[in-house]
Amino acid sequence: AQKVTQAQTEISVVEKEDVTLDCVYETRDTTYYLFWYKQPPSGELVFLIRRNSFDEQNEISGRYSWNFQKSTSSFNFTITASQVVDSAVYFCALSEASGNQFYFGTGTSLTVIP
């Protein structure tokens, strides 16, 4: 079974629109960590955020915000007022305290149209 599901394969939005990228995870651990990475066309994965399972506070960083809801096992990522530079593939990942690896979703390809 997929540990991390990113159901949205591709999303296109017009510049300045808001967009939410969904991430649903599955784990039996009570202690776990969730991550979002951005992969621009150059290929390098850029770390965006890390949250632990005990901290459900939403986080905002500029135009980026993250909504962590344990009740629905979701860790969604919203970009407000999207820009062309936001065009990239975004990956959600899970790490369990009891395990020894990261589980990556299959990624969501975001295209922001000028």
Binding site for another protein (CB under 8 A): 9, 32-33, 35, 37, 42-47, 50, 52, 91, 95-97, 99-102, 104-107
Residue 36 or 86 with smaller CB distance to another protein: 36
User: How many angstroms separate the CA atoms of 13 and 20, rounded?
Assistant: 10
The residue among 18 and 99 lying less far from another protein, judged by its C-beta, is 99
Strand partners, 99: none
Strands 64-69 and 88-96: unpaired
Shortest Cβ 12–another protein spacing (Å): 16
CA dist., res. 48 & res. 36, Å (int): 5
In the complex with another protein, the residue whose CB is nearer, 43 or 114, is 43
Q: What is the smallest separation between the CB atom of 71 and another protein, expressed in angstroms? A: 22
- Kindly list the distances between the CA atom of residue 67 and the CA atoms of 3, 22, 51, 85, in Å, as whole numbers in the listed order: 18, 10, 10, 22
To the nearest whole angstrom, how small is the minimum distance from the Cβ of residue 72 to another protein? 21
